[in-house]
Amino acid sequence: MKSAVIVFPGSNRDRDMIAALEKISGHAPATVWHADTDIPPVDLIVLPGGFSYGDYLRSGAIAARAPIMRAVAERAAAGVPVLGVCNGFQILCEAGLLPGMLMRNASLRFVCREVLLRIETTQSIFTDRYRQGEIIRCPVAHGDGNYRVDEATLARLKDEDRVAFRYAGASAGGGNPNGSIDAIAGILNDRRNVLGMMPHPENLIEPLQGGTDGRRLFESVLERIAA
């Protein structure tokens, strides 16, 4: 099984993602530079967190137009799993691979804390190791995580079971940290092979990090593509 992590200038959770993929799969992922135009043959493409191009203009807006993104779109269209976390989610939305966009947090402040996530669908290559409705812990760390989408698309996302995660729980130790519509934390594309999510499962994969709830997301996708 092979994976690739796309690195943009200003990516900064690329190292966390590479470490998580390596620890869980036993294989170091390939790193692909934003200015490249091709991605080696891989079974999983990850767009990591960070502040690509400083998040200037709009989060993810410049990265969505980087040379490498044409290759990402082609692979996604061919069915290769693509995971975008945090800035990666923002880039996928800006690139049109996922609907909607991420606005400033409702508090207008950056937020880094652990939240609770409800697994809304297990019908995806990324979530089938979780139980439907299961509540997991997961950290968030973002300033622009407020998911917004028009009503028609929101209805479609719900109808098609494409909401992957929602923020769960009351405010103490849970709650919606950014004001996202319908408390949405992550969504799938219509083919269900592209997942975008604001929380950071790669930062909760071993006991020293305080828990392992993020680990099964990677185990799900790695096992499925290894099979």
Partner 1 sequence: MPASTDVRPAKPVAITPELVAAHGLKPDEYERIIKLIGRTPNLTELGIFSAMWNEHCSYKSSKRWLRTLPTTGPRVICGPGENAGVVDIGDGLAVIFKMESHNHPSYIEPYQGAATGVGGILRDVFTMGARPVAALNALRFGAPEHAKTRHLVAGVVAGVGGYGNSFGVPTVGGEVNFNRGYNGNILVNAFAAGIARTDAIFYSKAEGVGLPVVYLGSKTGRDGIHGASMASAEFDDASHSKRPTVQVGDPFSEKLLLEACLELMASGAVVAIQDMGAAGLTCSAVEMGAKGDLGIELDLDSVPCREPGMTAYEMMLSESQERMLMVLRPEKQQEAEAIFRKWGLDFAVVGRTTDDLRFRVSHRGVVEADLPIKDLGDQAPEYDRPFVRRTAPAPIADLNLDSSDCGEMLIQILNSADMSSRRYVWEQYDHLIQGNTVQRPGGDAAVIRLDGTVKGLAFSLDVTPRYCAADPFEGGKQAVAECWRNLTAVGAEPLAVTDNLNFGNPERPEIMGELVGAIEGISAACKALDFPVVSGNVSLYNETNGRAIPPTPAIGGVGLVESVGATATLAFKAPDEPILLFGAPPSWGSHLGQSVWLREIRGREDGPPPPIDLAHEKKVGDLVRALIRAGLLTAVHDLSDGGLAVGLAEMAMASGIGASVDHLNNEPPAAVFFGEDQGRYLATVTRENFEAVLARAKAADIFAPRIGVTGGADLKLGRSNPISIAKLREAHETWFPAFMAGKS
Residues that bind partner 1 in the complex, under the rule CB under 8 A:
9-10, 12-13, 15-16, 19-20, 50-51, 53-56, 109-113, 139, 141, 143, 200, 202-203, 205, 208-210
Q: Which one is catalytic: 86, 94, 120, 138?
A: 86
Give whichever of 78 and 109 is closer to partner 1, judged by the CB atom.
Answer: 109
- Shortest distance, CB of residue 65 to partner 1, whole angstroms? 16
- Shortest distance, CB of residue 172 to partner 1, whole angstroms? 9
Q: Which residue has the tokens 């290769």?
A: 80
**Among this protein's residues, is 202 annotated catalytic?**
yes
- Shortest distance, CB of residue 149 to partner 1, whole angstroms? 25
Let me know the angle formed at the C-alpha of 75 by 6 and 203, rounded to the nearest 5 degrees: 40
Give whichever of 94 and 202 is closer to partner 1, judged by the CB atom.
Answer: 202
**Among this protein's residues, is 200 annotated catalytic?**
yes
Catalytic residues, by residue number, are: 86, 200, 202
